[in-house]
Structure 1
Amino acid sequence: MNPVTLIGAGNMGGAMAANLLERGWVVEVCDIDPARVHSLASKGAVALSIPAQAAINSVAFIVCVVDAAQTETVLFGEHGLHRMLQPGHTVLLCPTISPLDVESFARRLAALGVFTVDAPMSGGPARALDGSMSLMLACADPVYDQQAGLLHALSGNIFRISDTPGDGARTKLVNNLLAGINLVGAAEVLALATRLGLDAGRTLDVIEQSSGQSWIGSDRMRRAIAGDYAPRAHVTLLEKDTRLALEAARAAGFDGPLGARASQVFVDAHQAGMAGLDDAAIFKYLAGR
């Protein structure tokens, strides 16, 4: 079996690599943190020092870093993939970045004869590990058909958005803006419940079986009630994602009532020293106000 190359072995990328290894894929891994690479190498992954060392016969090159600046470095930096990419290769772009950045990367890769799959993901590390996370795909049909085996190994929950890279990013930003709004809302009402003298766990029990329920609210507030703020998804991630969503909204001439306020809460929590905590810490921030 030809290898799959994965660049960026953080919480999501590392879980994706582990999932592929468990399913019998040959996986090359590269990350700026050697400990992450070593951990996956101990499970059978092939360790790379720089992206340009990737095998020329790789099935696909998965970019799973944090933002557009890191994506630029991975693709077109001094030791980037551009040094070895060949016509007919395929790059999967998994970071949450702006649609305009996705379109720009896709154009530059197309100039090399390389196909782009706009493939933002959602669901968290646990679902990336078991292959049940969501993938929002925007790519040409022949590219999808060629990569179907890999894509279905990564995700049992694939959404075909369109054949135009950039539309996956737009869908992800819409989703994550709602996730941010829901998380801030859940944290606010749990903080209010404790201020009213209610038991937070019992209140969340009621919410989870009533009209106020949301997946992210339940997931994060259960951690918050337990005092567990170990980072699975840092505060800075939804801070970035909601900012990008608002930028896309402004570009489209749309001004909603909730997005900007929710986004500001992540900025405020960051400035309050919670940037390195799990985004469940929004509860901690609001409860302390």
Structure 2
Amino acid sequence: MKRVAMVGVGNMGGAMCQRLLEQRWPVQIFDIDSAKMAALQAHGAVPCADAAHATDGCDVLIVCVVDAAQTQEVLFGPRGAAAAMGAGQVVVLCPTISPADVEGFAARLAERGVAVIDAPMSGGPVRAREGTMSLMVACDHAVFDEHSAMLNVLSGHIFRISEKPGDGARTKLVNNLLAGINLAGAAEAMAMAQRLGLDLARTLAVIEQSSAQSWIGSDRMKRAIAGDYEPRAHVTLLQKDTRLAVEAAAAAGFSCTLGPVARDVFESATRAGLGGLDDAALFRFFTARR
């Protein structure tokens, strides 16, 4: 059982940390929010002063922050982890970031003999806490084998994408682009149902058993009907992910039709002041339109 460092213990990272602690894995943590660290310390996590100290004596560092800028800070900032790491240690990159950023981070870490597991995640905090979330893994086979026990504790659905860091990010962006398209469509359809005077719960029940069903549509529209916009996944996350997906498509020479539409919906919802809410708030965005 290896010693794990985890930087970023918010909704997803905190749930993953609790899962590891429950399974008796030793975990050292750092987050800019001291209250989050204190809550996990009560469960056995060891809080650290910064990302560099979190890696002390650890075999693997899990980075679970929001975007590439935060990942850059965690790894290569003034108190970043990379300077304190060396040959044989491994970094697991869980944020949804661009393939180019994953490749760049992997190349810089390789100079120090540090391997990268490109492992973006999907499933939300509840599944992360249960160990049933999905991981899209791209890394060297030997590195995967060495850390498979930890990955299997965290994920009930590990998808081996390739040996090339960056391919996990590409797969996640494909998934999240479709998730964004599905969610935008579900929110607009349910807003239309409300304008038509239909009972929303009954309408959603029909959709869930018919051709328009999607997991994210059902999950988020149930929250929307209940007026529950407490953030599990902020609107800004799919705003970022749909933008990155469209950019990745363009870089590959593929012209998206629906992707830019979904991207613009999330961008508009954020500009409308909904960015800090759960992405179920797309329903509120569409119902406010005239």
> What secondary structure is seen at the aligned counterpart in 2 of 1:211?
coil
Q: What is the distance in 2 between the residues matched to 1:117 and 1:202?
A: 44
Do structure 1's residue 116 and structure 2's residue 116 form an aligned pair?
Answer: yes
Q: What is the distance in 2 between the residues matched to 1:205 and 1:82?
A: 50
Is contact 2:2–2:59 with CA below 8 Å preserved after alignment? yes
Is contact 1:9–1:36 with CA below 8 Å preserved after alignment? yes
Q: What is the distance in 2 between the residues matched to 1:237 and 1:84?
A: 30
Q: What is the distance in 2 between the residues matched to 1:230 and 1:86?
A: 40
Is contact 1:3–1:55 with CA below 8 Å preserved after alignment? no
How far did 1:103 drift? 0.2
Q: Hey, what does 2:186 align to over in structure 1? A: 186
**Amino acid paired to 2:179:** A
Q: What is the distance in 2 between the residues matched to 1:118 and 1:75?
A: 14
Is contact 1:102–1:165 with CA below 8 Å preserved after alignment? yes
Q: Hey, what does 2:169 align to over in structure 1? A: 169
Residues 1-289 of structure 1 mapped to structure 2, 5 A cutoff: 1-289=1-289
Is contact 1:54–1:84 with CA below 8 Å preserved after alignment? no
> What secondary structure is seen at the aligned counterpart in 1 of 2:279?
coil
How far did 1:83 drift? 2.3
Unaligned runs of 5+ in 2: none
Unaligned runs of 5+ in 1: none
Q: What is the distance in 2 between the residues matched to 1:179 and 1:20?
A: 28
Q: What is the distance in 1 between the residues matched to 2:59 and 2:226?
A: 42
Q: What is the distance in 2 between the residues matched to 1:260 and 1:49?
A: 41
**Amino acid paired to 1:81:** A
> What secondary structure is seen at the aligned counterpart in 2 of 1:277?
coil
How far did 1:156 drift? 1.0
Is contact 1:122–1:133 with CA below 8 Å preserved after alignment? yes
TM-score (norm 2): 0.98
**Amino acid paired to 2:39:** S
> What secondary structure is seen at the aligned counterpart in 1 of 2:5?
strand
How far did 1:253 drift? 1.1
Q: CA RMSD in A?
A: 0.8
Q: State percent identity of aligned pairs.
A: 62
> What secondary structure is seen at the aligned counterpart in 2 of 1:32?
coil
Q: What is the distance in 2 between the residues matched to 1:243 and 1:260?
A: 8
Which aligned segments of 4 or more residues in structure 1 are displaced greater than 6 angstroms? Answer: none
TM-score (norm 1): 0.99
Q: What is the distance in 1 between the residues matched to 2:124 and 2:55?
A: 28
Count of residue pairs the alignment pairs up: 289
Write the deviation string for residues 233-272 of structure 1: whole angstroms up to 9, x where unpaired.
0000000000000000111111122110011000100010
**Amino acid paired to 1:144:** F
> What secondary structure is seen at the aligned counterpart in 2 of 1:232?
coil
Identify which range, 163-172 or 78-87, moves more after superposition: 78-87
Identify which range, 77-86 or 162-171, moves more after superposition: 77-86
How far did 1:82 drift? 1.6
> What secondary structure is seen at the aligned counterpart in 2 of 1:156?
strand
Q: What is the distance in 1 between the residues matched to 2:286 and 2:82?
A: 45
How far did 1:2 drift? 4.0
Identify which range, 133-142 or 53-62, moves more after superposition: 53-62
**Amino acid paired to 1:138:** A
